[in-house]
Amino acid sequence: MQTIIVVEDDRHINEVVTEYLKEAGYTVISTDSGKAAQDMLEKSIEADLFILDIMLPGVTGLALLKNIREHERYDEVPVIMLTAVVDEYTQLLSFEELADDYVIKPFSPKVLVKRVQTLLRRKAHISPATNTGVYIDTDSYLAYESGTPVKLTLREFELLKILMQNPGLVFTRQQLLDAVWGYDYFGDERVVDVHIKNLRKKFSGQVIATVKGVGYRLDVESSN
């Protein structure tokens, strides 16, 4: 489940946005304080998208946006500015600081959810594997390493996708079998080892790490 951080000091708006996003199936972490949001950034709290008000107590939304884009963990995470500030300068400044969208109050919560879904769907098309230089396009089922296409079989692609969508999480062979081959597969679970071995051969760096006695995970420490 994807996580959205909402930073909005108007209690009613915060509650409405949070409720609509939860109904759409998202995990929501909300705060009314820019300083509290800054603390979340410093703790590297899991986030797939940010919704930021601009006029916040403590730390402004624009300052948070700047910090997000300078943060190694969040520099590619979509950010929506949700604000009553309508002047052209502030809008242009937000986009110069790499905001992905700018929504002016009053707004439709339903339309805001659609904007969130669109941004997250677009982001999911290209999934970065931390600093390995590897990413995948889930629409075309293509994998790339440092911009160069890497030819994978369907099973290899599905294995890589599962690991990349859950960086740092360890999967057992059985969990990978269930996710990629299906729950009705009754063959030898060592087939996972064979596919992982072949998958590793297709990349110059180490993309998949073995956790002895457990299974496999994305190698979030690797670097080409």
Domain that holds residue 87: 3-126
Q: What is the mean pLDDT of residues 98-118?
A: 93
- Does a structural domain hold residue 99? yes
- Does a structural domain hold residue 86? yes
Helical packing angle, 11-23 and 109-125, nearest 10°: 50
| pLDDT (0 to 100) of residue 61 | 96
Helical packing angle, 61-70 and 88-96, nearest 10°: 20
Q: How many domains does the chain have?
A: 2
Last residue of a domain, one of 76, 91, 126: 126
- Write the CATH number for 179: 1.10.10.10
Same domain, 108 and 164: no
pLDDT category of residue 222 using cuts at 50, 70 and 90 = low
Same domain, 103 and 143: no
| pLDDT (0 to 100) of residue 75 | 80
Q: What would you measure as the largest C-alpha separation in the chain, in angstroms?
A: 63
pLDDT category of residue 224 using cuts at 50, 70 and 90 = very low
114-123 exposure pattern, b = at least 16 Cβ within 10 A, e = fewer: ebbeebbeeb
- Does a structural domain hold residue 158? yes
For tokens 């946006």, what's the residue? 65
Same domain, 179 and 116: no
pLDDT category of residue 116 using cuts at 50, 70 and 90 = very high
Same domain, 121 and 50: yes
Q: pTM for the full model? A: 0.59
Q: What is the pLDDT of residues 23-64, one digit of tens each?
A: 999 999 999 999 999 999 999 888 989 999 999 988 999 999
- Does a structural domain hold residue 165? yes
Same domain, 39 and 108: yes
Strands 142-145 and 134-137: antiparallel
CB-side exposure of 109: number of CA atoms within 13 Å? 13
Q: DSSP of 93-157, one letter per residue?
A: HHHHTT-SEEEESS--HHHHHHHHHHHHHHHHHEEE-TTSSEEEETTTTEEEETTEEE---HHHH
Q: What is the mean pLDDT of residues 11-17?
A: 97
- Does a structural domain hold residue 223? no
Q: What is the mean pLDDT of residues 118-124?
A: 73
- Does a structural domain hold residue 118? yes
- Residue 169: alpha-carbon gap to chain centroid: 14
- Does a structural domain hold residue 54? yes
Last residue of a domain, one of 102, 126, 150: 126
- Write the CATH number for 87: 3.40.50.2300
| 58 vs 14, residue with greater confidence | 14
| pLDDT (0 to 100) of residue 73 | 83
Same domain, 22 and 75: yes
Q: Does the pLDDT of residue 104 top 60, yes or no?
A: yes
> Quick check: helix, strand or coil at residue 81?
strand
Same domain, 76 and 88: yes
Tally the residues of the chain.
Answer: 224
| pLDDT (0 to 100) of residue 223 | 43
| pLDDT (0 to 100) of residue 24 | 93
Which of 54-58, 167-171, 177-181 ranks highest by mean pLDDT? Answer: 54-58
Q: Does the pLDDT of residue 123 top 70, yes or no?
A: no
Cross-strand pairs, 29: 5
Percent of residues, the chain, with pLDDT higher than 90: 58
Same domain, 162 and 66: no
Between CA 96 and CA 89 the distance in angstroms is 10
Q: Does the pLDDT of residue 8 top 90, yes or no?
A: yes
Same domain, 169 and 92: no
Last residue of a domain, one of 73, 97, 126: 126
- Does a structural domain hold residue 105? yes
Q: Does the pLDDT of residue 166 top 60, yes or no?
A: yes
Same domain, 78 and 14: yes
Q: What is the pLDDT of residues 63-77, one digit of tens each?
A: 999 999 999 888 888
> 61, 52 in Cβ contact below 8 A?
yes
Between CA 204 and CA 195 the distance in angstroms is 16
Between CA 4 and CA 190 the distance in angstroms is 37
Q: Does the pLDDT of residue 126 top 70, yes or no?
A: no
pLDDT category of residue 185 using cuts at 50, 70 and 90 = low
Same domain, 172 and 76: no
| pLDDT (0 to 100) of residue 188 | 77
Same domain, 17 and 64: yes
